[in-house]
A = this chain, B = another copy of it.
Amino acid sequence: MPLRVVEVHQNILRKNSTMARELRERFERNGTYVINLLSSPGAGKTTLLEETLRRLGDRYRVAALVGDQATDLDAARLRRSGAPVEQIVTGAECRLDAQMVTAALRDFDATAVELLAIENVGNLICPAEYDLGEDLRVVVFSTTEGEDKPLKYPLAFATAHLAIISKTDLAAAAGFDRASAKANIERVHPGIEIVEVSALRGDGMDEWIDCLDRRIASKRVLV
């Protein structure tokens, strides 16, 4: 990249860090646990999130923010879970940033939210650079994408706290090599927790929900 472009980019990331820190402090004050979901387009984030909100909606006050380049299709899907959902249309931008999240939070009362799920724009590259003040960054990677994706998009996997292998119902049809996929995730991020789910069939959803419960509880103890 030319020097001037690098500078502008670094400025943007610096500003984002500052705003993300403010968001994190605010979430802390409000007792809100925040997850940021990253993946390719079509890896199954929305289906997973819809099911997650449905399962957790009776135990926590949940809400969701959804980033999308052009439509509010995902927000409409997520609203079926009963949770309040705010859509962020990003236009030419390939990711959410802390400023967009801050602006979206103006539109609804986030002080009472206990679990805020942010569904990022479908993109394995740009979103990885932007902290949104989340507690848990989750990278979702579907069995139909090919086992090499963690090596090809390392930043998303390296910066995530948890990896979800999604669409396990399609694993056999896609000839998915589970061992190789897990080895590739491990290579980019040694020791990262990996959960395998089919949000459609429900397989692995209990494990994922338990894992979220555990993390929310341990944050409450720490705060």
Q: Determine the chain B residues whose CB is within 8 A of the CB of A126 once the complex forms.
A: 94, 125-126
Residue A179 lies at the interface, judged by CB distance under 8 Å to chain B: no
Name the B residues within 8 Å of A70 (CB-CB).
151-154
Report which of B125, B144, B146, B174 forms a contact with A123, defined as CB distance below 8 A. B125
Bound form: Cα–Cα A126–B123 in Å = 10
Among A5, A9, A153: residue with most chain B CB under 10 A: A153
Contact with B along A105-145 (1 / 0, CB 8 A): 00000000000000001111110010000000000001011
CA distance in complex: A142, B167 (Å): 14
Please tell me if the beta carbons of B5 and A152 are within 8 angstroms of each other in the complex.
no
Q: Taking the nearest CB of chain B, how far is it from the CB of A80, in angstroms?
A: 15
Chain B residues, Cβ within 8 Å of A151: 70-71, 73
Chain B contacts for A211, CB-based, 8 A: none
A159 contacts partner chain B, Cβ-Cβ < 8 Å: no
